[in-house]
């Protein structure tokens, strides 16, 4: 890898962290005017159409000939399908900042899964830094719960999202040698669009409201959120995710989820005016330190047989 290209996966990781960090805010805003599956249907519908236009105009190249499409289906079922079902309901049941902090637990689950399924073992010092970022997240959650209470049901739902995201990280990393990042992203967006719009249309048919299916798009808050989630948070961010996973080990890639947590806290405080406490600052510092340490000592990452 050329010297300048060596830093591209890390820049991609920071970019996706910023986009995903703000996605919790936009999702929370949109859910005030649209149902969860309806939102997901529009989000991935726009993402799929955007990628299709890029393919038509030959800006991106997608070629699945001779490749195992069942692998793409497995990736898409983990994320976006099951992951976003849990995430969107979890966000609805908690605050934007709390949701972001829970998602920061993804790296520790990915690290365990990567060791088991990919035989990718982090060095001892990397484990320490991953642990530091996770401890920072847990510290925030415990302190938040003790002071103002916490929605346990929402936390459990978000933990299921963490599990699904971790499975996705492993599968995307495993199959990155066969599929280009854009090919994985293209399949994910189309499978998500079909699955979520099917559920949303069915819901509207059962309620006898199918003629009002596109009505939420007249709401500026909902429309702006869908455009952000559909284009930035789905197309661009997931391309960055899959690109990063194709260049870095799964546990190192996943640690950027912790940076998203810090972004979500800042966005929740500055834009949604959610309360900010001293323990959130302490936890955020621990999270950022963990992100830095895990990647700085990445050269010590190694593979070995069990």
Confidence label for 120 from pLDDT (cuts 50, 70 and 90): confident
Q: 97, 268 in Cβ contact below 8 A?
A: yes
Q: How would you class 271 by CB atoms within 10 Å of its CB: exposed for 0-12, middle for 13-18, buried for 19 or more?
A: middle
Q: 107, 134 in Cβ contact below 8 A?
A: yes
> What are the structure tokens assigned to 224, written together?
């702006």
In whole angstroms, give the CA distance from residue 152 to residue 156. Answer: 6
Confidence label for 303 from pLDDT (cuts 50, 70 and 90): very low
Q: Which of 22-36, 183-197, 222-236, 276-290 has the lowest mean pLDDT?
A: 276-290
Query: Which residue's entry shows tokens 């952000």?
Result: 228
Mean pLDDT (the chain) is 85
Average pLDDT over residues 128-139: 84
Confidence label for 300 from pLDDT (cuts 50, 70 and 90): very low
Q: Which helix (H) or strand (E) holds 152?
A: helix 152-175
Q: Which of 101-110, 120-129, 175-184 has the lowest mean pLDDT?
A: 101-110
pLDDT given for residue 115 in this prediction: 82
- Domain with 110, as residue range(s), is 4-303
The listed range with the strongest mean pLDDT (93-97, 134-138, 272-276) is: 134-138
Confidence label for 210 from pLDDT (cuts 50, 70 and 90): very high
> Is residue 277 scored above 90 in pLDDT?
no
pLDDT given for residue 112 in this prediction: 80
- pTM of the predicted protein model: 0.81
In whole angstroms, give the CA distance from residue 122 to residue 189. Answer: 31
Average pLDDT over residues 232-255: 82
pLDDT given for residue 147 in this prediction: 61
Instruction: Look at 96 and 264; give whichever has higher pLDDT.
Output: 264
Residue 198, number of CB atoms within 10 A of its CB = 12
Average pLDDT over residues 130-138: 83
Q: Which of 19-33, 96-110, 226-240 has the lowest mean pLDDT?
A: 96-110
pLDDT, tens digit, for every residue of 26-84?
A: 998 899 899 999 999 999 999 999 999 999 999 899 999 989 999 999 999 999 999 99
> What are the structure tokens assigned to 210, written together?
């199918």
> Is residue 239 scored above 80 in pLDDT?
yes
Confidence label for 207 from pLDDT (cuts 50, 70 and 90): very high
- Domain count of the fold of the chain: 1
pLDDT given for residue 74 in this prediction: 95
Confidence label for 299 from pLDDT (cuts 50, 70 and 90): very low
Query: Which residue's entry shows tokens 């800006």?
Result: 59
């Amino acid at each position: 890898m050329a010297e300048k290209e060596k830093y591209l996966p890390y820049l991609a990781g920071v970019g996706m962290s910023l986009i995903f960090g703000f996605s919790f805010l936009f999702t929370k805003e949109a859910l005030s005017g649209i149902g969860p599956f309806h939102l997901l249907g529009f989000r991935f519908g726009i993402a799929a159409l955007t990628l299709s236009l890029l393919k038509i105009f030959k800006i991106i190249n997608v070629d699945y000939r001779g490749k195992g499409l069942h692998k793409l289906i497995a990736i898409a079922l983990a994320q976006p399908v099951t992951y976003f079902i849990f995430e969107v309901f979890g966000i609805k049941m908690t605050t934007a900042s709390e949701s972001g902090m829970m998602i920061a637990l993804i790296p520790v689950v990915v690290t365990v899964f990567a060791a088991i399924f990919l035989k990718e073992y982090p060095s001892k010092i990397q484990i320490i830094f991953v642990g530091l970022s996770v401890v920072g997240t847990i510290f925030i959650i415990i302190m938040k719960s003790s002071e103002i209470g916490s929605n346990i049901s929402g936390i459990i739902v978000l933990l299921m999202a963490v599990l699904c995201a971790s499975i996705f990280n492993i599968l995307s990393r495993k199959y990155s040698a066969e599929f280009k990042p854009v090919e994985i992203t293209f399949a994910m967006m189309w499978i998500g669009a079909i699955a979520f719009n099917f559920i949303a249309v069915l819901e509207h048919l059962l309620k006898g409201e199918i003629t009002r299916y596109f009505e939420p798009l007249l709401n500026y808050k909902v429309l702006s959120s869908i455009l952000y989630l559909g284009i930035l948070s789905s197309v661009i961010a997931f391309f960055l995710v899959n690109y990063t996973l194709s260049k870095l080990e799964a546990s190192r890639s996943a640690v950027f989820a912790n940076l998203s947590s810090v972004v979500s806290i800042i966005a929740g405080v500055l834009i949604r005016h959610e309360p900010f406490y001293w323990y959130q600052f302490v936890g955020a510092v621990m999270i950022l330190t963990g992100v830095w340490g895990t990647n700085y000592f990445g050269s010590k990452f190694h593979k070995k047989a069990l």
